[in-house]
Amino acid sequence: MTFLRTVWLVMRKDLLIEFRTREILYTTVFFAVSCILVFAFGLVREGRAVEDAAAGILWIAIAFSGTLALGRAFERERQSDTLRALMIAPADRPAIYVAKLMGVLALLIAVEAVITPLIALLFQAPLFAAPFTMGVLLLAGTVGFAAVGTLFAAMLVRARSRDVLLPVLLYPITVPVIIAGVRGTSALLQTDMDIPVARAWLTLLLAFDAVFITLALWTFEPLMTD
Amino acid sequence: MNVSFDTLTFSDVTRNFGRRRALSRVSFVCRAGEVVALLGPNGAGKSTLLSIASTLLKPTSGDVRYGAHPAAAAGAAVRRQIGLLAHDLFVYPELSAAENLLFFGRLYGLTDVERIVRAALEQAKLADRPDDPVAGFSRGMRQRLAIERALLHSPRLVLLDEPFTGLDDASVEALRGRLASLRLSGSIVLLTTHDLEVIDGIADRALILTAGKVNELDAGPGPLRERYRRACAVA
Same domain, yes or no: B159 and B227:
yes
pLDDT at residue A192 in the model = 85
* Closest CA–CA distance from residue A192 to any residue of chain B (Å): 50
| H/E element, B69 | strand B69-70
Same domain, yes or no: B124 and B134:
yes
pLDDT tens digits along A121-133: 999 989 898 999 9
User: What's the CA angle centered on A87, arms A83 and A92, to 5 degrees?
Assistant: 130
Nearest-CA neighbor of A15 among B102, B106, B95, B146? Answer: B95
pLDDT at residue B231 in the model = 81
Q: How many domains does chain A have?
A: 1
Smallest Cβ–Cβ distance between B79 and the set A13, A88, A226 belongs to A88
Distances (CA, A) of B229 to B39, B46, B223: 11, 17, 10
pLDDT tens digits along A13-25: 999 999 999 999 9
Examine the fold and report which residue of B154, B187, B203 is the final residue of a domain before the chain moves on.
B154
Name the residue of chain A whose CA is nearest to B95's CA.
Answer: A17
pLDDT at residue A1 in the model = 65
For residues B100-115, average pLDDT: 95
Same domain, yes or no: B106 and B68:
no
In this structure, chain A runs to a length of 226
**Does the pLDDT of residue B224 top 90, yes or no?**
no
**Does the pLDDT of residue B218 top 90, yes or no?**
no
Nearest-CA neighbor of B186 among B116, B111, B113, B81? Answer: B81
Chain A residues within an 8 Å CB radius of B82: 88
Residue B21 sits at φ, ψ, to 5 deg, of -100, 115
Q: How many domains does chain B have?
A: 2
Amino acid in position A196: P
For residues B95-104, average pLDDT: 97
Name the residue of chain A whose CA is nearest to B54's CA.
Answer: A88
- As a whole number, the mean pLDDT across chain A is 92
Same domain, yes or no: B109 and B148:
yes
**Does the pLDDT of residue B9 top 80, yes or no?**
yes
| H/E element, B8 | strand B7-17
Query: CA–CA separation, A51 vs A61, rounded Å?
Result: 18
Name the residue of chain B whose CA is nearest to A96's CA.
Answer: B107
Question: How many Cα atoms sit within 13 Å of A9 on the Cβ side?
Answer: 23
Contact B137, B186 (CB under 8 A): no
A1:B57 CB<8 A: no
Query: CA–CA separation, B103 vs B147, rounded Å?
Result: 15
pLDDT at residue A47 in the model = 75
Nearest-CA neighbor of A75 among A170, A168, A157? Answer: A157
Distances (CA, A) of B3 to A159, A221, B104, B149, B185: 34, 21, 22, 22, 17
Same domain, yes or no: B111 and B56:
no
Chain A residues within an 8 Å CB radius of B56: 84, 87-88, 225
Does residue B89 sit within a domain?
A: no
Domain limits at A129?
3-224
pLDDT at residue A49 in the model = 80
| H/E element, B233 | helix B224-234
Does residue B133 sit within a domain?
A: yes
Same domain, yes or no: B227 and B161:
yes
**Does the pLDDT of residue B27 top 90, yes or no?**
yes
| B interface with A, Cβ–Cβ below 8 Å | 54-58, 76-77, 79-80, 82, 84, 86, 88-95, 99, 103-104, 106-109, 149
Examine the fold and report which residue of B127, B154, B181 is the final residue of a domain before the chain moves on.
B154
Smallest Cβ–Cβ distance between A9 and the set B56, B106, B149 belongs to B106
A84:B103 CB<8 A: no
pLDDT tens digits along B127-184: 999 999 999 999 999 999 999 999 999 999 999 999 999 999 999 999 999 999 999 9
Cα separation of the two ends of chain A: 24
Query: CA–CA separation, B169 vs A78, rounded Å?
Result: 30
**Does the pLDDT of residue B235 top 90, yes or no?**
no
Nearest-CA neighbor of A58 among A120, A3, A2? Answer: A120
Assign residue B169 the CATH number of its domain: 3.40.50.300
Query: CA–CA separation, B191 vs B180, rounded Å?
Result: 13
Domain limits at B69?
7-81+155-234
Q: What residue ranges in B82-219 does DSSP mark as E strands? A: 82-85, 157-161, 188-192, 205-210, 213-216
The 10 Å Cβ neighbour count of residue B120 is 25
Does residue B39 sit within a domain?
A: yes
pLDDT tens digits along A41-83: 988 887 788 877 899 999 999 999 999 999 888 888 888 889 8
Same domain, yes or no: B119 and B172:
no
Smallest Cβ–Cβ distance between B90 and the set A20, A85, A90 belongs to A85
Does residue B71 sit within a domain?
A: yes
Query: CA–CA separation, A100 vs A95, rounded Å?
Result: 9
Fill in the DSSP letter of residue B218: P
* Closest CA–CA distance from residue A124 to any residue of chain B (Å): 41
Same domain, yes or no: B221 and B168:
yes
Does residue B56 sit within a domain?
A: yes
pLDDT at residue B1 in the model = 61
Query: CA–CA separation, B146 vs B159, rounded Å?
Result: 12
Query: CA–CA separation, B139 vs A135, rounded Å?
Result: 47
Same domain, yes or no: B166 and B144:
no
Which of the residues B57, B90, B160 would you substitute to probe the A interface, choosing the one with the greatest number of A C-beta atoms within 10 Å?
B90
Same domain, yes or no: B32 and B131:
no
Same domain, yes or no: B19 and B53:
yes
Same domain, yes or no: B32 and B128:
no
* Contacts by B173-179, CB closer than 8 A, 24 or more apart: B174/B123, B175/B147, B176/B202, B178/B123, B178/B147, B178/B151, B179/B35
